[in-house]
Homo-oligomer: A and B are copies of this chain.
């Protein structure tokens, strides 16, 4: 963290972002910008043992392909990890990814 006019500033306000940095950061926010996907992430993150994908369709009231699509998006953004257990796949949150995003916004 550095300073700007004597006040501690997060990266977003410290200096103007160039287009490339903006694109990278915007991708993080875009991942959380869909309400269904955000709820999906919250569901997974609220269970320390993670969540079985088999349980998420019912809770979200979305089709299986839609849930699978959102899980893929979260995975590719580094927000969740996946682990196969037999026929099932369990997803767990990566809180580090959240911290990285928050670090961009605050000191």
Contacts and interface: CB of A to CB of B under 8 A. Distances in A.
A30 interface: yes
Nearest to A59: B16
A1 interface: no
Interface string A1-34: 0001101001011111111001101100110111
Each complex incorporates copies of this chain amounting to 2
A5 B48 contact: yes
Interface residues of A, number: 41
| Interface of A: prevailing SS | helix
Contact of A33 (B15, B30, B99): B30
Interface of A: 4-5, 7, 10, 12-19, 22-23, 25-26, 29-30, 32-39, 41-43, 45-46, 48, 59, 93, 95, 98-99, 101-102, 105-106
